[in-house]
Amino acid sequence: MRRQMSQDRSWYFPFMDALTVHRLHFAFTATFHYIFPQLTMGLALLILILKTLALRTGGEHYNRAARFWARIFAVNFAMGVVTGIPMEFQFGTNWARFSKAAGGVIGQTLAMEGVFSFFLESSFLGVFLFGEKRLGPKAHWFAAFLVFAGSWLSGFFIIATDAWMQHPTGYELGKNGEILLTSLSGLLLNPWLFWQYLHNMIGSVVTASFVMASVGAFYLLGRRSEEYGRTFVRLGVIAGMISTFLMAFPTGDGQGKNVAWHQPATLAAMEGLFETTHGAPLVLIGQPDPEKRRLDNPLAIPRALSFLTYQRWGAEVKGLNEFPPDHWPDNIALLYYSYHIMVGLGTVLIGVMALASLSLWRGRLYGARSLLWLLMLMLPFPYIATTAGWITAEVGRQPWLIYGIMRTPEGVSPHISAGNALFTLIGFMGIYTVLAILFLFLVGREIDEGPEHPVEAHAVTL
């Protein structure tokens, strides 16, 4: 009886197809996961800077500041680890056909991430958090450096995996449709990877800078831990000014050219460009209408898109009409809006940091309460910009799972019904809600206790 039911699938959920649920499943778990690494990777760099300042000045101030951020790092890191393991599993559980075909390639980078980088990062994080007394200042600085190196290496292998899916290199197709890796250097020196990696890592520095400046502003506005508040605001604003600028140029520009060269249909959809145009305008706002193939209510800078893409004001930019609709990204509105949110917020972030840098340079920032309020309230926006950026990258890759090789519906696990996938998606939503509450509670507590709080070991002590 049971056997018959499992073969007849018509009684399974009729209202959502399995492919949609599998895509939402990955999108939700990946988006939630990346809240944590995007802070830790950037914060690792800022902690290294604090440790360098501590070595230079020889005082306890910067060491205490580094310890405070290491505690926040540790909570974020634990969250990143427990939400990261499901990502590796999901390639096999939800995307079995994709894994079967491409496992020989992306399994390489994922395994390297697990073995080299994650191991380096997690073991030296333990050394960094609990070994300060035994190590001495120089060795402790080196532990901070290895945590930084491990997390940035980790990021490299993960971005290498995504870059290969965006722009496959170094492979050949086998007899049974499996994808064989022919060159490891082709995989690791993918031209797409260079700008995507830098753009992503700089984005993570932007997030960490805003978080540090925001916490510093919180202390200054609350008239508590003001000595540390000034340090956090200063480092956050200086690092934020440099990183928001690098975010736009050259990394954002380079990533845009990646898309223009290798995914022209995606570029057209991102910009809402339907007709091929010489001297294409850069659209600031407007609503794309894929049904009628036009952009409603556009507000645009004439010729700017052509110039940004090809450095010539009159250059031709291909519109979506040049491509058959089954090569169009399958959710043009989502792609268009998330891209514009990323770029718009990125511009706002540059503006805020420029304003704060100017005030800092004039020596007025620590007393400028309205500017400090602004810095504090900016906290969520780099997270939103980063998330919108990743939605742009991943929705922009559609309808391909591996660009030009495998379409998304071909990669899904054929035997997992929509009902089963929805069950586990809701399960993840529930457990991640609990994690989010715990995370905010613990981080909020650390911020409330402040940097002066005496160090106590947070891991299990012997």
Binding residues for other proteins (CB under 8 A):
2-3, 6, 74-75, 78-79, 81-83, 85-86, 88-89, 91-94, 96-108, 110-115, 118-119, 122-123, 126, 178, 413-416, 420, 423-424, 427-428, 431, 435, 438, 442, 445, 457-462
CB closer to other proteins, 29 vs 251: 29
Structure tokens at 156: 């490299």
- State the nearest-atom distance from the C-beta of 94 to other proteins, in Å: 7
- State the nearest-atom distance from the C-beta of 89 to other proteins, in Å: 6
CB closer to other proteins, 88 vs 452: 88
- State the nearest-atom distance from the C-beta of 358 to other proteins, in Å: 39
Q: How many other C-beta atoms are found inside a 10 Å radius of the C-beta of residue 137?
A: 13
- State the nearest-atom distance from the C-beta of 91 to other proteins, in Å: 7
CB closer to other proteins, 92 vs 254: 92
CB closer to other proteins, 86 vs 240: 86
- State the nearest-atom distance from the C-beta of 11 to other proteins, in Å: 14
CB closer to other proteins, 114 vs 250: 114
- State the nearest-atom distance from the C-beta of 317 to other proteins, in Å: 39
Bond prior to 14 in cis (omega within 30° of 0): no
What is the separation of C-alpha 454 from the centre of its chain, rounded to a whole number of angstroms?
33
Q: What is the 3-state secondary structure (H, E, C) of the chain?
A: CHHHHHHCCCCCCCCCCHHHHHHHHHHHHHHHHHCCHHHHHHHHHHHHHHHHHHHHHCCHHHHHHHHHHHHHHHHHHHHHHHHHHHHHHHHHHCCHHHHHHHHHHHHHHHHHHHHHHHHHHHHHHHHHHHCHHHHCHHHHHHHHHHHHHHHHHHHHHHHHHHHHHHCCCCEEECCCCCEEECCHHHHHCCHHHHHHHHHHHHHHHHHHHHHHHHHHHHHHHCCCCHHHHHHHHHHHHHHHHHHHHHHHHHHHHHHHHHHHHHCHHHHHHHHCCCCCEECCCEEEEEEEECCCCEEEEEEEECCHHHHHHHCCCCCEECCHHHCCHHHCCCCHHHHHHHHHHHHHHHHHHHHHHHHHHHHHHCCCHHHCHHHHHHHHHCCHHHHHHHHHHHHHHHHHHCCEEECCCEEHHHHCCCCCCHHHHHHHHHHHHHHHHHHHHHHHHHHHHHHHHCCCCCCCCCCCCC
CB closer to other proteins, 6 vs 321: 6
CB closer to other proteins, 101 vs 378: 101
- State the nearest-atom distance from the C-beta of 18 to other proteins, in Å: 12
- State the nearest-atom distance from the C-beta of 143 to other proteins, in Å: 15
- State the nearest-atom distance from the C-beta of 35 to other proteins, in Å: 15
CB closer to other proteins, 92 vs 344: 92
CB closer to other proteins, 60 vs 88: 88
